[in-house]
Structure 1
């Protein structure tokens, strides 16, 4: 049997393509394995930082009433003993308890220890989430999934907790008119169109630190404003859309976070409203110079598209937005008469 030159050439090209695919797949699988190792090591460092902070928190009990000290001890023990998938909730419970403790009641040396422990957690969490983002970006690629180059490894999850620490001012009692203090209170709006797509902004740190991220419209509450007033003002400034405050449904969610922004650490307390609108293209009406630098683009996204953003390694806030969108839809047309007050849910 003889083969023509064309047949031999075609077979050679096929073998070459298969060889190249094999080399790429082998390299990608090795790289993905290294990323998973890095993620595991980052989690171990974060777990160690959280455990050290728990020890410091328990030591605060010396300066606190017995009941408060016992509560802190119980919360730290729970945070240390729960399974990993419950760790975020347990750490957030501990953070809320810390936020109710006035720093004045604690000795300066203990305050310093607490600040150091918080800083270590912040750094460890940042490294962990960076490792998770890089791993998800590679493991989420379509060809990597089709060829199962990740083996049986699960997609790693971000660890996002409220890093509220000892209170240095009066606690927030929102919703109410807010006087800006040590914590930046924000009003945000989940916009939904007739096809249940939500409008998101993509932004970055003005100093170029870290990766861009997606988030909902809104911003800080100014002195003398209610949450609703701040929400509609921010909505107009960022999209050009003018709506009456009473058309907003909610507030439906509450989110606490601590993150670096423009060279500072920002403690953020966010309250979310929902609103149904006709599909439109935003035309900002009042962006600040900082916002003009920080805001990159906008996009209408379905729940599936929001999920795809996260799987591709993009950060989306709130973290569980895709899963939460059906909840937002219930209130997107405003609060129905006779429905009663909305109880805000704490989200990530």
Structure 2
């Protein structure tokens, strides 16, 4: 029995299609597995952040509940303790409502009645909850986007793992999370510690348009736009400021959180900055889309090793974040890791 050339070609095409489909199904299943792992890690991080806030809430309640002549403070203390207890005992499905109640009770606390160290502890706990919640919902969104595709559902590539769910709690800007200063702009920024093969970080040189004689250096990044995730903002800012197109899956983090208050272009800005690490091949940055202010304020760029960062600092050109030369090893380890690190506060 012999096969014609046409039959052989048809069989080859069928075999190629089967192989292609198999490779697609295998890679999609592996990607789904990684997304589920990421969702689980994000949920655990959010659970830990919520648990820490409950502990801080009890400490606040203990300070407010010190015997005094003010029955309102005593009642506020009892409510905080009750809500913290309920939050810890609630299952995941019913936890959103009680966490919102706890956040509301904390926002009503007069921080002037608390020790400064406890105010700082409360502010940090609240900020970590917001970061963890955003990171969790980003992971859930990415998982659901792939998991709910028709072919993925038809072929059961997600296996028996339950679908992850969003965790919706109000993002309150409380008195404890503020600086006590009257600021003109409050924003959240996504920043990228961009590393090349030689472990050098790409820094931009800038200046305040109102103070053109003072230069400083900073990492890639900028403000998160309405409805935009931290990762999407980081990728967008990277492209706009350097021309580099990156895959959000390559980002590691957030690994650092920095709250900065600074004057710029005649305004006082409070910025909560979340830093990601990303490894790339060295390239020549060419901005793709700078706005009017950026064109006036960004004046150069440089790939910097720790020694270069020290030289810039010593020359009087400040590098942000502070002590980046010492932090770089941590960013390098994060960029080369398979999982995201735990976020921590820096200056």
TM-score by length of 2: 0.51
Partner of 2:216: 213
Partner of 1:253: 256
1:104: Cα distance to partner?
5.8
Partner of 1:345: 344
Q: Following the alignment from structure 2 to structure 1, what is the Cα–Cα distance between the partners of residues 213 and 261?
A: 15
- Give yes or no for contact 1:164–1:258 (8 Å, CA) kept in 2: no
Secondary structure at the counterpart of residue 325 of structure 2:
helix
Q: Following the alignment from structure 1 to structure 2, what is the Cα–Cα distance between the partners of residues 347 and 286?
A: 29
- Give yes or no for contact 1:180–1:221 (8 Å, CA) kept in 2: no
Residue by residue over 1:108-131, the C-alpha shift from the partner in whole angstroms, topping out at 9 and shown as x without a partner, is xx79xxxxxxxxxxxxxxxxxxxx
Q: 1:69 to 1:185 in 2, by over 3 A?
A: farther
Q: Does 1:271 align with 2:274?
A: yes
Q: Following the alignment from structure 1 to structure 2, what is the Cα–Cα distance between the partners of residues 102 and 298?
A: 43
Partner of 1:127: none
Partner of 2:165: none
Q: Following the alignment from structure 1 to structure 2, what is the Cα–Cα distance between the partners of residues 180 and 257?
A: 19
Residue by residue over 1:99-158, the C-alpha shift from the partner in whole angstroms, topping out at 9 and shown as x without a partner, is x99776549xx79xxxxxxxxxxxxxxxxxxxxxxxxxxxxxxxxxxxxxxxxxxxxxxx
Partner of 2:315: 312
Q: Which aligned pairs between 1:66-145 and structure 2 lie closer than 5 A?
A: 67=63, 105-106=109-110
1:210: Cα distance to partner?
7.0
Q: 1:224 to 1:320 in 2, by over 3 A?
A: same
- Give yes or no for contact 2:191–2:221 (8 Å, CA) kept in 1: yes
Residue by residue over 1:287-338, the C-alpha shift from the partner in whole angstroms, topping out at 9 and shown as x without a partner, is 00010001111011111110111122211101110001111111224x41xx
Partner of 1:56: none
- Give yes or no for contact 1:101–1:166 (8 Å, CA) kept in 2: no
Partner of 1:174: 131
- Give yes or no for contact 1:164–1:257 (8 Å, CA) kept in 2: no
Secondary structure at the counterpart of residue 201 of structure 1:
strand
Residue by residue over 1:4-45, the C-alpha shift from the partner in whole angstroms, topping out at 9 and shown as x without a partner, is xxxxxxxxxxxxxxxxxxxxxxxxxxxxxxxxxxxxxxxxxx
1:233: Cα distance to partner?
0.3
- Give yes or no for contact 1:232–1:245 (8 Å, CA) kept in 2: yes
- Give yes or no for contact 2:334–2:341 (8 Å, CA) kept in 1: no
Q: Where in structure 1 are there 5+ consecutive unaligned residues?
A: 1-63, 71-99, 112-162
1:259: Cα distance to partner?
0.7
- Give yes or no for contact 2:196–2:280 (8 Å, CA) kept in 1: yes
Q: Where in structure 2 are there 5+ consecutive unaligned residues?
A: 1-59, 67-103, 114-118, 139-170, 174-184
TM-score by length of 1: 0.50
Q: Following the alignment from structure 1 to structure 2, what is the Cα–Cα distance between the partners of residues 203 and 344?
A: 27
Q: 1:68 to 1:180 in 2, by over 3 A?
A: closer
Q: 1:173 to 1:298 in 2, by over 3 A?
A: same
Q: Following the alignment from structure 2 to structure 1, what is the Cα–Cα distance between the partners of residues 107 and 212?
A: 31
Q: Does 1:227 align with 2:230?
A: yes
| From 199, 202, 207, the counterpart of 2:202 | 199
Secondary structure at the counterpart of residue 174 of structure 1:
helix
Q: Following the alignment from structure 1 to structure 2, what is the Cα–Cα distance between the partners of residues 217 and 307?
A: 19
